[in-house]
Structure 1
Amino acid sequence: MSAVCPNGHTSQADDYCDTCGSPIDAAAQPPAPAASATGSGSPAPQAGSSLDLDPAGMPSAAAGASAPSAPPAPGTAPTALECPNCGTENPDGALFCEACGYDFTTGAMPRDASGGAGEADGPDGPDPREGAGDGPSAGPSAGASDGAPEGGAPATAPAPAAGSATETFDWLAEVWVDPDWYQTQHAEDPCPSPGLPAIMPLRHRSVLLGRVSTSRNTHPEIDLSSDPGVSRRHAQLTTDGSRWFVEDLGSSNGTFVGPAAGPLPEQPIAVGPRTELGDDDRLYVGAWTRVVVRRATPDEVEAYG
């Protein structure tokens, strides 16, 4: 039986919404539909219905009315939704193409790297600004970050999907655990031990930051699944070859941009518009994650290429 989260999403899970992660209140669920008065499980014809009864007492379709389609047989495989832009097959009911970001609802094309209209990988649904199931709510920040290496995950690069990576790359992302950022977020989860950053080559002009979700078929190129404050489809990074831009996709806790030196950012960027990243800018997301986008050195190209 499906449930409805506080934000109106239908969820197969009854504890947390599998769309936005908000907790589901079982007491607030709508009552189950009452059994049909006919006793047969089928709704009675409404006044003015196009159905009338044949001599045997069975309903027959009036002239010009179409008979209801039969429900799919149990065990029938879900229909694949083919993207008209890139041809990728997506799960039936997907809102955006997971390969190119095509919007199945509005027909909007993905935004190009130069910022042309109608070409970005948009959010898979509105996330609440205080989504309890998707991570801690971002609070006001205080303190300073000097941009020095303070922590992170093991320095291992994820293996690229077969056939999806280019032969070379010029840019990479460093993913750090930032204790200073953690102190401003008031997260309940314990902060991981700081260490070396995870190095992730950026092999595409558009990459998704977020957490892996099998139910939503979300597999971000920059996987931040270890941070509970990061949304499934948190933010999108795009480049024109010389500059990088970040776009918040309606994340629960926001995307923050700040320089390497100076106080930590206190206000998240706006949802939707792209924000250009300066040479020393850092991205702050979730409960403890800091992301640095920079050019790869020749040794790094050789090591991760």
Structure 2
Amino acid sequence: MATCPKGHESETLDYCDTCGSLMTGAPTAPAAPAPVTATPSSSPAVLCPVCSTPKTGRFCEEDGYDFLLAPPVTPSAPPSSTSSPSPVVAPVVAPVAAWHVVVRADSTYFEVIKAMGGEDAGTLAFPRFVAERRFELAGQQMVVGRRSRSRGVTPDIDLVGPPEDPGVSHLHALLVPHEGGWAVVDLDSANGTYVNDPSANPIDPNVPVPLRDGSVIYLGAWTALTISSP
């Protein structure tokens, strides 16, 4: 038997079974473990809405989906069942009034481009005739460029020739609804996009620039797009 500090004999070695005093040399209770702090998780990966592949760049590696343009994806129909599913109601987006754009060749802009110089400036020639083309602006976006079968590019406003403006990129610009009207976004094109003043600096890529009735978008070597409201 052991003796506690107060002189009592105790059969237990941790606390005296007579007075409850801590026995001399008794082990102390282990310290409580430190609380575990949760490590914040990283931001969730952006997935392709078509195939759910994680985003690694502008285009999906599996199906070529363009994360920048982000065209809407129609979900596949659910499998049929004995009970009729509840109808899915799509959000209603207020339509923008029917603005339109007229595409033409602008000789004044062409001379500005030639004066800027560049390795291809001497080979440029203003076309003898370019028929004006008119496009209605509708939907959530209108891609401006030149179609390419090999790249799978089919712009809404297709500026393919003849005559072919060599300065227009396949994916050159984007027209999007903006505050009751429209805005233009340069898609990091090779030769830039200008609004109203072709002698000024090109607009910044991937930044919407509001347009008004009569605004003119210059791109390529001679192409001008005049925006008109209803």
State the TM bucket, normalised to the shorter chain. 0.5 to 0.7
List aligned pairs for 1:149-160, cutoff 5 A.
Answer: none
Q: 2:97 and 2:157 mapped to 1: Cα distance? A: 15
SS for the counterpart of 1:190 is coil
Alignment-derived partner of residue 211 in structure 2 = 277
Aligned partners of 2:100 and 2:228 also within 8 Å = yes
Change (3 A) 1:200 1:98: farther
Alignment-derived partner of residue 64 in structure 2 = 94
- Matched letter for residue 83 of structure 1: V
Alignment-derived partner of residue 180 in structure 2 = 242
Aligned partners of 2:104 and 2:225 also within 8 Å = yes
Alignment-derived partner of residue 202 in structure 2 = 268
Alignment-derived partner of residue 204 in structure 1 = 139
Q: 2:198 and 2:151 mapped to 1: Cα distance? A: 32
Aligned partners of 1:257 and 1:265 also within 8 Å = no
Aligned partners of 2:142 and 2:174 also within 8 Å = yes
Alignment-derived partner of residue 46 in structure 1 = none
Q: 2:176 and 2:51 mapped to 1: Cα distance? A: 22
Aligned partners of 1:205 and 1:240 also within 8 Å = no
Q: 1:241 and 1:269 mapped to 2: Cα distance? A: 19
Q: 1:96 and 1:177 mapped to 2: Cα distance? A: 30
SS for the counterpart of 1:199 is strand
Give the drift of 1:272: 1.2
Query: Which string of whole-angstrom CA distances, capped at 9 and with x for unpartnered residues, describes residues 17-62 of structure 1?
Result: xxxxxxxxxxxxxxxxxxxxxxxxxxxxxxxxxxxxxxxxxxxxxx
Task: Find the partner of 1:229 among 144, 163, 167.
Answer: 167
Confirm or deny that 1:254 pairs with 2:188. no
Q: 1:212 and 1:91 mapped to 2: Cα distance? A: 21
Confirm or deny that 1:182 pairs with 2:114. no
SS for the counterpart of 2:201 is coil
Q: 1:219 and 1:95 mapped to 2: Cα distance? A: 14
Give the drift of 1:264: 3.7
Change (3 A) 1:243 1:227: same
Q: CA RMSD in A?
A: 3.4
- Matched letter for residue 168 of structure 2: V
Give the drift of 1:288: 0.4
SS for the counterpart of 2:212 is coil
Q: 1:271 and 1:190 mapped to 2: Cα distance? A: 27
Change (3 A) 1:218 1:176: same
Task: Find the partner of 2:151 among 216, 234, 245.
Answer: 216
Q: 1:172 and 1:199 mapped to 2: Cα distance? A: 7
- Matched letter for residue 281 of structure 1: S
- Matched letter for residue 181 of structure 1: Y
Give the drift of 1:196: 4.9
Q: 2:127 and 2:165 mapped to 1: Cα distance? A: 9
Q: 1:283 and 1:211 mapped to 2: Cα distance? A: 16
Query: Which string of whole-angstrom CA distances, capped at 9 and with x for unpartnered residues, describes residues 185-208 of structure 1?
Result: 124232212555211122323100
Give the drift of 1:269: 0.2
Aligned partners of 1:169 and 1:201 also within 8 Å = no
Change (3 A) 1:197 1:91: farther
Task: Find the partner of 2:50 among 51, 69, 83.
Answer: 83
Name the % identity: 28
Q: 2:100 and 2:129 mapped to 1: Cα distance? A: 20
Which structure 1 residue ranges, 5 or more long, are not aligned?
1-80, 103-112, 115-165, 297-305
After superposing on structure 2, the runs of 4+ consecutive aligned residues of structure 1 that deviate more than 4 Å are: 97-100
Task: Find the partner of 1:172 among 95, 100, 113.
Answer: 100
